[in-house]
A and B are shown apart, each in its own frame.
Chain A
């Protein structure tokens, strides 16, 4: 119950939505998953944090452009002036105008700061993209390993355990072996079945981790018909990325 409510909170469910149920069995493994390379490209085009980093570059870039445009516009100081000399009895009053002439300060510092910020945001973007690609690869590797383990258990271990039990039963029939060995064989078969269920669970967990790394749901090797839950579709597909947006940033890992 506690876990269920925790999940409701995490998913933001209330009212009738909280009556969700889960099936008795985990769905079987899909036939195939996406190859790793396509997944990396998909991730870097869909991750919102990468989008945000990209937006920062654009913003920084625009700020820099403004600085550059404004750097030869003189700054005007306008002031009043009053002077009184006691000894000579002379009073001077008048306005004063100060003009900044870009002789020595031609805005280099501001421009350099802007450039540095731009560079920083570009590198941050690159770093994030590299991390995302790495995360996708490693999540994909975990998914592949989980799939291999589950498949091996299903194709090799479970039939072998069934055969072991069958042969032990035959040996028991012939009184070659006792009831304890027979029960032991059955127990080992049950344990192998549990190992398989855990391997399937590990697969689906790894798949969710990969989807998190991708920033979107996996579509290939799609979820089998027996969906794991009756959860509402809380994760609509993200908008398609604009391929033109990053044209001015060649050579970045994001591309």
Chain B
């Protein structure tokens, strides 16, 4: 019973199957059917994405089954699809005949039929359920759900304060179409947590100090998902195979959730803020756009746009509109696309993300936010985090730039870290022990070392010595003027080819080595 054996699990954007107690048996009823589902509801700056999918009890994914270890459960499945189906209890220990594999453990349910499954829960943990008949189609259409089993008799002080569950999935939904294409094998373009893509995902709200558990299952067709949580180190405490002994748990910031697996992570929410949690595969935090787009990075269209729109004559002197509303896009990436206000196909999710507190969020798909707050009156969405003054990255002010000798038009350079670095060149004393760093003696060509020293000088001075004049006048209060760039007066040469002289840093045309400042 909730409150007796467990804190109920929270399923963002999700639902649970209601149950009733009949002669000591928890009775559930699930109806497999086609349902309209919103992957992204309409919101500010986006129109939303809505499709006909397959689910249970009117929702997709199916509502979660929540029970307690030792419960006797009886689950009715009614098939209101036009296809035969079964349901398999993934990771749940059941008698073979209750395993729900069509043809292997039972006869599949014809449309209109109702079957009864009954078993005793012998374990606790995070399981799942899904169709085990024509899986490619039926899982691809969304016929999946979570099966949460709480331990019985666990002392209350060991319960997590917040217990979340997320089910990962992937879909192929072509813009403007009404149904996902379950035949897709590679190019999925809608990636979801609990069948929602960002900005449609509800946040995970916790109070500072809460002990947080997040159960993550993956029933994607073809992809594993490394789920990365910002701001925290956590422990992976369970898989769908059960609890991991404490001695075997190790800290992570990214939990890898393979297809057909669940992983449970736990941490104490001791750092307030808005923390992104997302799949770290970059194509999985996009919505439909971009995946089929040719590489436009760096393309310089010149007069092409005007010519194509018919606003400028073409090469042959004629002036006709080829495409009146054409605009070259993608030269600097996808990030500007979300809030450009262009016209898109109906029922599509082109934008990368959605509006955020500070800026447009250029993330979509398998992305959500963990919201940790010092004070909460409820676990409803508290809105955006108000970071205390001085704890937010802001545009650098001139005082700071001057204090730290940062010249925004300068070249900060690099410090060698490889074989040419102080560590890489470190020598040994006659007694065979490594010499101290301070006494590194040149072992390679002095000219090469001279280059190293020059580079070190460069980086320590921020690419250019801060001139006294600049310091003294302070005339330019904002940003150092370009006229103080390192090029002025300084010549550069190659440590191997002294005849090579250049008025700016770069590489030697003869050997490719980095040029050093000429003394």
Contacts and interface: CB of A to CB of B under 8 A. Distances in A.
A52 B492 CA distance: 104
B294 A175 contact: no
A176 B290 CA distance: 6
Contacts of A178: 292-294, 296
A28 to B, nearest CB: 22
Contact of A173 (B176, B294, B343): B343
B344 to A, nearest CB: 4
Say what secondary structure dominates the interface of chain A.
helix
From A169, A170, A173, A176, residue with most partner B Cβ within 10 Å? A176
From A171, A175, A179, A183, residue with most partner B Cβ within 10 Å? A175
B144 to A, nearest CB: 26
B345 A171 contact: yes
A182 interface: yes
B345 A170 contact: yes
Contacts of B326: 169, 182
A180 interface: yes
A169 B323 contact: yes
Given A167-B176, A167-B345, A180-B294, A173 B323 contact: no
Interface in A10-49: none
Contacts of B175: 170-171, 174, 176
Contacts of A183: 323
Given A186-B322, A186-B323, A175 B328 contact: no
B467 interface: no
Interface in A137-176: 167, 169-176
A176 B323 CA distance: 17
Contacts of A172: 329
A80 B176 CA distance: 115
Contact of B350 (A169, A176, A182, A186): A176
Given A179-B328, A186-B322, A186-B323, A174 B342 contact: yes
Contacts of A227: none
Nearest to B299: A179
Nearest to B324: A169
Given A170-B343, A182-B326, A186-B323, A176 B337 contact: no
A177 interface: yes
A175 B334 contact: yes
B348 interface: yes
A172 B290 CA distance: 10
B345 A174 contact: yes
Give the interface size bracket for B toward A.
Answer: 20 to 34
B323 A182 contact: yes
Contacts of B378: none
B310 to A, nearest CB: 12
A184 to B, nearest CB: 12
B344 A173 contact: yes
Nearest to B344: A174
Contact of B288 (A173, A176, A179, A186): A176
Contacts of B292: 176-178
A132 to B, nearest CB: 48
Given A182-B323, A186-B323, A175 B348 contact: no
Contacts of B323: 169, 182-183, 186
B289 A175 contact: yes
B330 interface: yes
Given A170-B345, A171-B345, A176 B289 contact: yes
Contacts of B343: 170, 173
Interface of A: 167, 169-180, 182-183, 186
The 8 A-B residue pairs with the shortest CB-CB distance, nearest first, are: A174-B350, A178-B294, A175-B289, A173-B342, A174-B344, A170-B345, A175-B293, A176-B175
Given A176-B175, A176-B345, A179-B294, 8 more contacts: A169-B325, A171-B344, A174-B342, A175-B350, A176-B348, A178-B294, A179-B296, A182-B323
Interface of B: 175-176, 288-290, 292-294, 296, 322-323, 325-326, 328-330, 334, 337, 342-345, 348, 350
24 contacts: A169-B325, A169-B326, A170-B343, A171-B175, A173-B342, A173-B343, A173-B350, A174-B337, A174-B344, A174-B345, A174-B348, A174-B350, A175-B289, A175-B293, A175-B329, A175-B350, A176-B288, A176-B289, A176-B293, A176-B348, A179-B294, A180-B294, A182-B326, A186-B323
